[in-house]
Structure 1
Amino acid sequence: MFKVTFQVQGGNTVEAFANEGEKILQIAQRSNVAIDAPCSGNGSCGKCRVKLLSGELDSKQTRHITDEEYAEGWRLACCSTVVGDVTLEVPDIASAYRSRMKVADLSSGEEVQIFENSRKQVIDAGIEQKNNMEVLDVVMNVPSLEDTMPDNERLMRAVSRETGIAHVTIPYSVMVKLARVLRDSQFHVKCVVRKISSDVFIYDIFPSTEQVVIGGLAVDIGTTTVSAILVNMVTGEIIGKASSGNGQIRYGADVINRIIEASRPGGRKRLQDAVVKETINPLVAEMCKASGFKANHIYRMSVASNTTMNHLLMGVYADPIRMEPYIPTFYKTNSLFASDIGICIHPDAHIIVSPNIGSYVGGDITAGAFISMIWNRPETSLFIDLGTNGELVLGNSDFLISCACSAGPAFEGGDISCGMRATDGAIEACTIDFETMEPSFSIIGDPGTKPVGLCGSGLIDVIAELYINGIINSKGKFIRDGRRIKHDKYGMGSYVLAFEEDAGSVRDVEITEVDIDNFIRAKGAIFSAVRTMLNYLDYTVDMIDDVYVAGGIGSGINMRNAVNIGMLPDIPQDKFHYIGNSSLTGAYMELLSTSAEKKVYEVASNMTYLELSTVPTYMDEFVASCFLPHTDTRLFPSVTVKNE
């Protein structure tokens, strides 16, 4: 038995004990030490870097570690095993999913405009913007020797008179503070209530002089990124907005690896803690801190996430999702409360969970399809959510059909050596000069922010520019030489976007042929799903009237470049619309509007799920799509490559 000491940069020191031959990554995961491992430890991503400070490891050098870095002590945690006592440094970038939490500045209005636009569309569709939460002003008689009614009955009768509803529920959280609040306020109080036709539920009670705001929380739990907004439930005002990486990322970048981890002893608790304690609760705390709002004044929560994330959030056994015939524990549930899973808001807050419709098409898509409004239009539209799992919905007001494909985490920065989420330091747009091959790009953050990596929208631009300018061929291999083209000792090429001295990191910001290959597979999964769905319905591309693209991959994507690389169909540009994080926007509308919540359930029930693995032609379509732009160039007549 040997001692392994993890010195987390800027954090705590964690000591663990391990047997000879155990992998460092497994020890870290068991000890709750955050090491980024998108590939779940198979050695392909090169992101689980640790630095050997003392002791010895059995660690082979991979292509991800240069000779200089190896000499400095850098190792991959997934490729290193214990042979004795050892001390390791875990760099800050390894836990970037936590340290790069982004709290939005709402003062400019740009961050909230997309929510306002969507809200207007929903109103225009005739969906009432009303929920059953409100603040009641309640006055009661002060007790006396002649009037000895207990406090709870006094309050229930007063609320019943105020609302005209006979049945009133006072939960434990209100009961314990009832006597003090009533007497401090001379029996004139404000009650936060949920009012339906047959019941009034009292969430909280305050003195009548206190300003009371009913808070709501909408959360999009993505496989890679978690985004949240804090909302005034009465006015719809967005009080706070924040995002961070999903803490589960260290157990793998895709849902399958996380399901496997969850099936191991203690795995469900580890995965649940990673998303609740390490991700959602810190997001809530940061938003409340920035806005001066109290977390226990959040009385309702809405969640939109894929089927696997829903199960892992609740700590539900998820293994059947990945096993034929792919049956989840639930598609719909309305019985979840904050205290059930440890969300640090009001303990009695009801959690609205957007309904799933298949093992791999979840509530994030039903919420997103609702916001896209394709269900309310006679024209045939295509809705695409670009994330770790690419999900698509095709249809109109008469029919809806959906499918999911495993795009991998490339659109959110995973599986890409310089990939990152759309946060400060991310290159979100890029052009490359044909003659000089020099890049020009825009970076998320304040003026002067140095580039750290590429987010999804920047990745699309870079690969499209490399291809259109003849720097890479249709297979993603470099075919031109220049100052920014490098080759390592294995012959693998790369393009340097920012040299070390100009970058905000300790190395060049570059994209490699392996990165490009990973991305080509991701974009190929999307386009082959589009083709398969169209063929299944005997539709052609020209029958698509509009394409709505969603996903938190940046401030938006260049649709022309998305066509140039063969990710989206080659149709007129005015048919494409980027609608941002539709999953979060849908969760926001479900939070604010009971009618919208019901409509999402209706949209889900009317949606047909197409399992791509059962369609014989899907794999052929996928293989054909794994080129730039495609093996059949007739599908992309507008794409041209510049000649030297």
Structure 2
Amino acid sequence: MQTILDYGQRNKVELNPLAQRYTVKIKMPGLTDNQGDVDRLRRYLPESLKGVHIPLEVMRELPSVFLEGDWQVSVIVAQAKENPWVIDIEPEVGKGNYYGLALDIGTTTTVLYLVDLASGEVLGNVSSYNGQVKYGDDILTRIYLGSTENGREKLRQAVLETINGQIQQLVSEHNVEQNKIYAMVVAGNTTMIHLFLGLDPANICREPYIPVVNSPGILKAIEVGVAINPLAPLYCLPNVGSYVGGDVIAGLLVSGMHQKPELSLLVDIGTNGEMVLGNNEWLVTCAGAAGPALEGGAAEHGMRAEAGAIYKVSIDPATLQTDYRVIGSVKPRGICGSGLIDCMAQMLVAGIIDRSGRFNDDSGAFVIAGAQETATGQDIVVSQKDIRSLLKTKAAVTAAVEVLMEGVGCSFKELEKFYAAGAFGAYIDPESAITIGLYPDIPRQNIISLGNSSLEGARLALLSREKIDEAETLAKSITYFELNNNREFMKKFTSGLFLPHMDLNRYPSVKKKLQNVSFV
């Protein structure tokens, strides 16, 4: 069982969901009032809905629903801004429950919320591996496969099978009619959204890095293949560029940094690292490959954050004795990303490794858990190779942030808030992240973990038509920095290969920690 982040910072929002329910009382027809059912429905709809599209599927139901409801009905409308349509019509005025889904499609995992659209309450959630993982763990492998029609369809069906399975689980657990799920909002990176919609991702990784679409608009569930009401509106949060997707826009909605005057930085680190810098006057963004190291994928004893993974490590500087915590309260089988970050930070402060990440003896590895303690019967160690891999990942993230900040003439001293999004933001110890140079050295109270902001941002957009408008405006207003051809990136990457950085003065609190540490 994997520990997948299926929660987020819950923001309050004024309810105006993507699918809205209206109560309509209709005058019975007569010999002197023989208007057809469709026209009669339009006549008694609110003024704002006079031009609403009524699909053929709904027309077929009108006569029986009018009679069953004694000419009082509930009309469920998709609140598409320019072309709203009726999703369903029910005889029970305001009594039937109606639901929506918020979905986070990650490269590795998918997480789904079932939401009551009347109250905004999250009724349940389910999380699992993205079915596309069997075709490749990383984005580039999937882009390559998705560049062919056959491969693209395999990937689309794989993620749809995952999502529809999750929907089936939720409706079963909560006794919900699948046809009463009337709206869905999806957040994910640009490639994941392309593959979800069956769009060719080939040009995402080819210069000049142009996706098929940044804002797909409001679609219908039946067009995409999601097993909910076929006429339900399905909205994907917009992308900014090839490597900055709707999951980042979701993070902005949750953090609200675009509405605040202080200079803030939002970082979402997963297989890729995406970051946004700015305030209520301007926003800039960029993205780069972070690699599998932070997901435990590149370490000798690395593993994902699931049962048996060491996720927290401490080392006594005097005795070099280790203490660790394991997911699931079982014997350890390996170590995940947050554990690796803890371990590197602790080894640095204990003088086990120097600032270049090299071991100060000839061991070439550090034992976290002895063979007698583990489920595998082997030592769980962090090796020199593991450290180099993690350093490269850290350096890639920090170099991207530096390029972004220098590109707009800002320094780290001006940074007031740091928002950590995604699973790593929730599980990484901020002190450890600062010690190795992954996070900026700012007052700890200004480091804010958003949890699964991609999922929470999708929930906000599901429950608020205004948040959808806000997301669209944000995506168009952000300036996108392309790192693929940036000459400064490699210079800054090299500086980031030190702990916490080649320039130790950038990390005054870490410099103080290391004052009495001997690296000989």
Q: How does the TM-score come out when normalised to structure 2?
A: 0.88
Q: Distance in 1 between matches of 2:405 and 2:113?
A: 35
2:17 paired residue number: 131
1:371 paired residue number: 254
| Shift in Å, 1:528 | 1.0
Are residue 293 (structure 1) and residue 159 (structure 2) matched? no
Residues 502 and 179 (structure 1), Cα distance of their counterparts in 2 relative to 1, 3 Å cut: farther
Are residue 355 (structure 1) and residue 355 (structure 2) matched? no
Q: C-alpha deviations, 1:574-631, integer Å up to 9, x for none?
A: 3221111222211111111111111111122221111123322111111221232223
Q: C-alpha deviations, 1:15-53, integer Å up to 9, x for none?
A: xxxxxxxxxxxxxxxxxxxxxxxxxxxxxxxxxxxxxxx
Q: Which of 251, 257, 278 is 2:135 aligned to?
A: 251
Residues 393 and 284 (structure 1), Cα distance of their counterparts in 2 relative to 1, 3 Å cut: same
Please give the residue correspondences for 1:61-140 in structure 2 after superposition, counting only pairs within 5 Å: 100=2, 111=7, 114-115=9-10, 118-119=11-12, 128-131=14-17, 133-138=19-24
The higher-RCO structure (CA 8 Å, 6+ apart) is 2
1:397 paired residue number: 280
| Shift in Å, 1:326 | 0.9
Aligned residues of 2:301 and 2:380 also touching (Cα < 8 A): yes
2:481 paired residue number: 610
Amino acid paired to 2:216: T
Q: Distance in 2 between matches of 1:540 and 1:103?
A: 32
Residues 381 and 398 (structure 1), Cα distance of their counterparts in 2 relative to 1, 3 Å cut: same
Aligned to 1:274, what secondary structure does the other structure show? helix
Residues 241 and 411 (structure 1), Cα distance of their counterparts in 2 relative to 1, 3 Å cut: farther
Aligned residues of 1:428 and 1:554 also touching (Cα < 8 A): no
1:163 paired residue number: 46
| Shift in Å, 1:475 | 4.0
Q: Distance in 2 between matches of 1:316 and 1:288?
A: 29
Aligned to 1:313, what secondary structure does the other structure show? helix
Q: How does the TM-score come out when normalised to structure 1?
A: 0.73
| Shift in Å, 1:478 | 3.9
| Shift in Å, 1:238 | 0.7
Residues 149 and 457 (structure 1), Cα distance of their counterparts in 2 relative to 1, 3 Å cut: farther
Residue identity over aligned pairs, in percent, reads 36
Q: Distance in 1 between matches of 2:61 and 2:235?
A: 27
Amino acid paired to 1:272: R
Aligned residues of 2:402 and 2:492 also touching (Cα < 8 A): yes
1:408 paired residue number: 291
Are residue 344 (structure 1) and residue 230 (structure 2) matched? no
Q: Distance in 2 between matches of 1:501 and 1:399?
A: 52
Are residue 514 (structure 1) and residue 376 (structure 2) matched? no
Amino acid paired to 1:474: R
Are residue 310 (structure 1) and residue 193 (structure 2) matched? yes
Q: Which of 484, 500, 507 is 1:629 aligned to?
A: 500
Greater Cα offset, 191-200 or 306-315: 191-200
Residues 169 and 465 (structure 1), Cα distance of their counterparts in 2 relative to 1, 3 Å cut: same
| Shift in Å, 1:308 | 1.2
Aligned to 2:451, what secondary structure does the other structure show? coil
Aligned residues of 1:430 and 1:440 also touching (Cα < 8 A): yes
Aligned to 1:614, what secondary structure does the other structure show? coil
Q: C-alpha deviations, 1:394-420, integer Å up to 9, x for none?
A: 111111111111111333343344444
Aligned residues of 1:167 and 1:198 also touching (Cα < 8 A): no
Please give the residue correspondences for 1:540-551 in structure 2 after superposition, counting only pairs within 5 Å: 540-551=411-422
Aligned to 1:236, what secondary structure does the other structure show? coil
**Aligned residues, how many?**
514
Aligned to 1:131, what secondary structure does the other structure show? coil
Q: Distance in 2 between matches of 1:275 and 1:197?
A: 28
Amino acid paired to 1:388: T
Q: C-alpha deviations, 1:463-503, integer Å up to 9, x for none?
A: 2122222233334444458xxxxx7xxxx635343646543
| Shift in Å, 1:366 | 1.6
1:231 paired residue number: 115
Q: Distance in 2 between matches of 1:508 and 1:175?
A: 68
Q: Distance in 1 between matches of 2:504 and 2:228?
A: 53
Aligned residues of 1:451 and 1:498 also touching (Cα < 8 A): no
Please give the residue correspondences for 1:189-204 in structure 2 after superposition, counting only pairs within 5 Å: 189-194=73-78, 201-204=85-88
Structure 2, unpaired ranges of 5+ = none
Aligned to 1:169, what secondary structure does the other structure show? coil
Greater Cα offset, 175-184 or 322-331: 175-184
Q: Which of 476, 497, 512 is 2:369 aligned to?
A: 497
Residues 634 and 313 (structure 1), Cα distance of their counterparts in 2 relative to 1, 3 Å cut: same
Q: Which of 89, 97, 100 is 1:216 aligned to?
A: 100
Q: Distance in 1 between matches of 2:447 and 2:93?
A: 51
Q: Distance in 2 between matches of 1:168 and 1:610?
A: 41
Aligned to 2:508, what secondary structure does the other structure show? coil
Q: Distance in 2 between matches of 1:509 and 1:525?
A: 26
Are residue 273 (structure 1) and residue 153 (structure 2) matched? no
